[in-house]
Amino acid sequence: MKYDLALIIPFYNEEDCAREVIEDLVRVLESNSTNYELILVDNGSSDKTLKILQDLSNEKLKVLKLDPNRGFGGGILEGLKISNANYLGFTCGDGEVSPEDTYKVYNQLIAGNSEICKAIRASRTDNFLKIIYSKSYNTLVKLFFNLKIRDINGYPLIMKKTAYESLSLKEKDWLFNLEILYQAKKQNLKVDEIIIKHRKRASGKSSDFSFSNLLRPIQPVLLMYYFLKYRLKN
């Protein structure tokens, strides 16, 4: 069966919030009569996340177990491979985005004239250092790639299947979003961004941040600049 929307949701040790995140998203999609499938990716979890996903699985909720962890981008890429819909995208599994905002991004895409629609996370609830880190990363990306994108790692990100098929995605880590947006620019694909409300994680915590971590964006962005600008320029 082909669906209108396929959303890839990667989970890594999210046993405390996985059920709530999925059930809330299903509720919103069903209330809007969306023809959807959710690809629930257990990306090498060591807790009970996989069992929770399997308990929820049905025809529309498909579970993909990856072991070992394939990285952020790698988990999404594996999910995209088995998706079957006219619109493909991904969102987070930690509750930082409301299901209403996820549907808002999808609705904007199908109602507008863009090939890709993604979120801008407003009123970030992250700690101060992580916000500075994110701003530094976005500034570096704008400097090196000339991308007119306000929030590179803002999600959900949803695209038409034809747009996805025109891309050649290989990045398996957190630079995955950058690869999508840079290739979209090279192919003259229109990208819309809409503002959503960023929420605190439903449980657990992100990676710890310190002042030394503020230098972290520089090396991978420089490497990605070389990789995309030169190795993929053709």
pLDDT (tens digit per residue) in 29-45: 999 999 999 999 999 99
Provide the 3-class DSSP secondary structure of residue 207: coil
Q: What is the pLDDT of residue 56?
A: 98
Partnered with residue 7 across adjacent β-strands are 38, 89
Token pair 């257990």: residue: 42
Residues 6 or more apart whose CB falls under 8 angstroms from that of 49 comprise 11, 12, 13, 14, 15, 18, 42
- Please compute the mean of the pLDDT values over residues 97-114 and round it to a whole number: 96
Q: What digits encode the pLDDT tens for the residues 180-206?
A: 999 999 999 999 999 998 877 666 554
Q: In sequence order, which ranges of the chain are alpha helices (DSSP H)?
A: 18-31, 49-56, 72-81, 99-111, 128-145, 161-166, 176-186, 218-226
Per-residue pLDDT band for 123 (boundaries 50, 70, 90) equals low
Q: Which amino acid is at 40?
A: L
Q: What is the pLDDT of residue 174?
A: 81
Residue 111's CB is within 10 A of a number of other CB atoms, namely 9
Q: Which of 97-101, 131-135, 225-229 has the lowest mean pLDDT?
A: 225-229
Residues 6 or more apart whose CB falls under 8 angstroms from that of 228 comprise 145, 178, 179, 182, 183
**Which is the CATH superfamily of the domain at 3-127+154-202?**
Spore Coat Polysaccharide Biosynthesis Protein SpsA; Chain A (3.90.550.10)
- Please compute the mean of the pLDDT values over residues 103-108 and round it to a whole number: 98
Q: What share of the chain is helix, strand, coil (3-state, %, to 5)?
A: 40, 20, 40
Threshold 0.85, pTM exceeds: yes
The closest of 175, 203, 200, 191 to 121, measured between CA atoms, is 200
Q: What is the pLDDT of residue 169?
A: 95
- Please compute the mean of the pLDDT values over residues 58-80 and round it to a whole number: 97
Indicate the average pLDDT of the chain: 87
Domain boundaries along the sequence of the chain: 3-127+154-202
Q: Which of 76-90, 129-143, 205-219 has the lowest mean pLDDT?
A: 205-219
Q: What is the pLDDT of residue 186?
A: 92
Q: What is the pLDDT of residue 142?
A: 83
Contact at 8 Å (CB) between 7 and 80?
no
